[in-house]
Structure 1
Amino acid sequence: MPHDIDPQTRIELEAAAFRRLQKHLMEDRPDVQNIDLMNLAGFCRNCLSRWYQEAANERGIPMTKEEGREVFYGMPYDAWRAQNQTEASAEKQAAFEVAFKENVLKDKG
């Protein structure tokens, strides 16, 4: 690792990068649709909230999918979705099915 960064500082830097990504997706670019993120990058805000929830569960912290989403989104997911998401075209939905299988379902396999 560059500059002999100690483990605690590495954790803090990673946490800061995660918070910046979260802010970017939630505040700076809420216009970017989850389906577009998934289709282009293989992950979306929901994946990030699931990874957060899974990390909590792995550490013995009970957290449901909806609770993880509320932590990540800063509000109930349905409220955020109603405020920011638009209807996806059939083409985007078909691409999403492929991206979901290739990225999310393989994580569970």
Structure 2
Amino acid sequence: MSDLTKEQQTELEAAAFRRLVSHLRNRTDVQNIDLMNLAGFCRNCLSNWYKDAADAAGIELSKDASREIVYGMPYEDWKKQHQQEASDAQKAAFEDNKPAHG
């Protein structure tokens, strides 16, 4: 590892997270199932990990609130505006490659 202080590392990680979230918000054409099939995680996973971190820190944060942080709007609104029905091929690929992360 480099000579970064713990504070510098945390600041850089937070900046990288914010950039990833911004990128995912702008790439509404990329469906969650495609992210899952290609990368093994999606926007929902990211929001779950955010909530897990809040829980571990003793910070109360609802699932809906963590999703809104990642999606930039209520999840149901995002789904209505951007989510497409998954194809049979996408569903089959998901079943074949379903990640086993929590």
**Partners of 1:107 and 1:33 in 2: CA distance:** 19
Please report how far the alpha carbon of residue 18 of structure 1 lies from its aligned counterpart in structure 2 after TM superposition: 0.6
Where structure 2 has 5 or more consecutive residues not aligned to the other structure, the ranges are: none
| Residue in 2 that maps onto 1:44 | 42
SS at 1:9 equivalent: helix
Which of 29, 44, 56 is equivalent to 2:54?
A: 56
Query: How many angstroms does 1:93 deviate by?
Result: 1.1
* TM-score, normalisation: structure 2: 0.92
Where structure 1 has 5 or more consecutive residues not aligned to the other structure, the ranges are: none
Q: CA RMSD in A?
A: 1.2
Deviation at 1:74, TM superposition (A): 1.6
The aligned runs of 1:1-109 (5 Å cut-off) are 1-2=1-2, 4-27=3-26, 29-100=27-98, 103=99, 106-108=100-102
TM-score (norm 1): 0.86
Distance in 2, matches of 1:97 and 1:56, equals: 30
Higher helix share: 1
Q: Distance in 1 between matches of 2:52 and 2:97?
A: 20
Moved over 4 A (4+): none
User: In structure 2, what is the Cα distance between the partners aligned to 1:31 and 1:42?
Assistant: 18
Identity level (%): 57
Q: What is the rounded CA distance, in whole Å, between the counterparts of 1:99 and 1:46 in structure 2?
A: 17
